[in-house]
Amino acid sequence: MKNDKLLEMRNISKSFPGVRALDDVSLTVRRGTVHALMGENGAGKSTLMKCLFGIYTRDSGEILLDGKPVSFKNSKEASRAGVAMVHQELNQALRRSVSDNIWLGRYPRFGPFVREKKMHEKTCEAFSKLGISVEPSRIMGTMPVAQRQMAEIAKAVSFGAKVIVFDEPTSSLNEQEAERLFDIIEKLKSEGAAIIYISHKMEEIFRIADDITVMRDGKHIETSPAKSLTMEKIIKLMVGREIKNRYPERELKKGEELLRVEGLSSRYSNLSDVSFSLSRGEIVGVAGLDGAGRTELLENLFGLSVRSGGEIYLSGREIKNRTAREAIRNGFAFVTEERRANGIFGILSIRANTTVSSLGKFLRAGVWLDKKKMRDATEKIISSLRVKTPSQTTKIRSLSGGNQQKVIFGRWLLTEPTVFLLDEPTRGIDVGAKYEIYEIIGEMAKSGRAVIMVSSEMPELLGVCDRILVMSGGRLAGEVDAKTATQEEIMALATKYV
């Protein structure tokens, strides 16, 4: 009889200079189950997985795969042994074909020659097994993220993976694509694979997980069957304190009209004839399916896309916002969706990332940067937004997602904006950090600014916003009151022009 425990990680510890990242952590994953690994950013989840894959050398502890001790020196060894990972940030050769990406480094060969036909057949076989419809010869970079992710899953399966780690797999997927992913995970389960599933989305965890392990501050806190836990219990285990409400309570104090948009249309996207207004103190959400024009709306307001028509009025005065620089001068700030790709300068310090959009404020004699003023301003942001960091000179890429996002908010606060444009501001952020981001958004509105917030999570829009604009097919399909609207009402509007 096969051992029910497919993967065992026993008493794993790992330290870095000045930091104990993992402290005697154990994880047991059963065959044919989905095991959710949960915890705040910085809890040790990624470090534990890197120890599994040989990216980090563990200080102590042991790993057993199917009852046999293993110690991988790198991810290639792990893959050959049947342990694979589908990363949140897809690392693919975008100019090569799907087949090339799947078999890179292990091409089927006849002597020195690559067997192209054999590679194509094996790729089709891997896709067929999962019920995936992707053309193997297609160039990877021409495909949407959802299909690229499916190709990555097929790659994991092609190794004969017995253990597959999914890291925030639905962060860039819409509802329909996420459903397809869940179907594939069920199929893998039925074939005896063990799935380690890392996500901050509580609803999907309760939907697909059999077991849940919670980590906090590098320690194992609890492992229990998913059906024995509640959302409130998991949040308490993750953050070490009780959060009674997922969204901070706030009272709307609506001021005069600040922003008015009339007939906004874009030249190179489907955005067409969008009109709305926004008052000081308001948080207005933007809902809609992927491709509905939500991001395009924010980019148009911020001067990042070419406008084909429409007017923008700020405090009754028409403004153009033809470029991002002009938008910043007019008091606009934009927190982008892809934090790592175009939100942070990963190799630069927290201080550099905080002050980069307002360097003019720190000039001395119009020539030199006043480093003391920059230090003081950065310290104020770190303190007021509760950024967890060893120092200002720490590279921002080493911070958790939530703390990176706080630095980005701080960067824009230094520009003293009046209109905040937020595109998926809590994507990939844990529940504790999300609450803090919601508090920051509420404070911005309370200070008399206006906030426009795009989110794919309807509960978030309903919990944080005052009103919700619903986009469909590049047009404004309707507007609802966030305090009384239902998800069904929003979804009906979101499909109006599809």
**Tens of each residue's pLDDT in the chain, 498 residues:** 356 899 999 999 998 766 788 999 999 999 999 999 998 777 888 889 989 988 889 999 999 999 999 999 888 888 888 898 887 666 777 888 888 888 877 777 888 888 888 888 888 888 887 777 788 888 888 887 777 878 888 887 777 788 999 888 877 676 777 888 888 889 889 989 999 999 888 888 999 999 999 998 889 999 999 999 988 888 888 877 666 677 888 888 888 999 999 999 998 888 999 999 999 999 999 999 877 899 999 999 999 888 899 999 999 999 999 999 999 999 999 988 877 777 788 888 999 999 988 888 888 877 788 899 999 999 998 988 888 888 898 888 888 777 888 898 888 889 889 999 999 888 777 777 788 889 889 999 999 999 999 998 888 899 999 999 999 999 999 999 999 998 889 988 998 887
Which residues lie below 8 Å from residue 66, measured CB to CB, with a gap of 6+?
Answer: 2, 3, 6, 162
**Domain 5-239 = CATH 2.60.40.60:** no
Structure tokens at 468: 């919700």
Nearest to 43 by CA among 9, 19, 64: 19
What DSSP designation does 139 have? Answer: B
Residue corresponding to tokens 């307002």:
358
DSSP strand E in 396-458: where? Answer: 419-423, 450-454
User: Which helix (H) or strand (E) covers residue 62, if one does?
Assistant: strand 60-65
The number of C-alpha atoms within 13 Å of 101 and in the hemisphere containing its C-beta is 28
Domain 5-239 matches domain 257-494 at the CATH topology level: yes
Which residues lie below 8 Å from residue 166, measured CB to CB, with a gap of 6+?
Answer: 85, 86, 185, 195, 196, 197, 198, 199
130 and 184 Cβ atoms separated by less than 8 Å:
yes
126 and 84 Cβ atoms separated by less than 8 Å:
no
Cα 141 to Cα 152: distance, rounded to the nearest angstrom: 13
DSSP-derived 3-state class of residue 310: strand
Nearest to 430 by CA among 164, 37, 22: 37
Burial 273-299 (b: 16+ CB within 10 A, else e): ebebebbbbbbbbbbbbbbbbbbbbbb
Cβ neighbour number for residue 125 with a 10 Å cutoff: 12
Cβ neighbour number for residue 202 with a 10 Å cutoff: 18
Q: Structural domain boundaries of the chain?
A: 5-239, 257-494
Q: Is the pTM higher than 0.85?
A: no
At 44-57, the pLDDT tens digits run 888 899 899 888 89
Which residues lie below 8 Å from residue 213, measured CB to CB, with a gap of 6+?
Answer: 27, 35, 36, 37, 38, 220, 222, 223
CA 89 to chain centre: 9
Which residues lie below 8 Å from residue 496, measured CB to CB, with a gap of 6+?
Answer: 470, 472, 473, 477, 478
CATH for 257-494 (3.90.1150.10, 1.10.10.60, 3.40.50.300, 3.40.50.720): 3.40.50.300
Structure tokens at 385: 């937004």
SS3 content of the chain, % helix, strand, coil (to 5): 35, 25, 35
477 and 471 Cβ atoms separated by less than 8 Å:
yes
284 and 278 Cβ atoms separated by less than 8 Å:
yes
Which residues lie below 8 Å from residue 228, measured CB to CB, with a gap of 6+?
Answer: none
Residue 426: per-residue pLDDT: 85
At 306-352, the pLDDT tens digits run 889 999 999 999 999 999 999 999 999 998 887 777 778 888 899 99
Cα 305 to Cα 302: distance, rounded to the nearest angstrom: 8
Residue corresponding to tokens 């990972």:
85
Which residues lie below 8 Å from residue 272, measured CB to CB, with a gap of 6+?
Answer: 265, 266, 293, 474, 475
Cα 102 to Cα 113: distance, rounded to the nearest angstrom: 17
324 and 302 Cβ atoms separated by less than 8 Å:
yes
Cβ neighbour number for residue 45 with a 10 Å cutoff: 25
Residue 61: per-residue pLDDT: 94
Handedness of CA 430, 436, 438, 444 (dihedral sign): negative
The burial class, CB within 10 Å (0-12 / 13-18 / 19+), for 411 is buried
Residue 330: per-residue pLDDT: 95
214 and 222 Cβ atoms separated by less than 8 Å:
yes
Structure tokens at 320: 């153009």
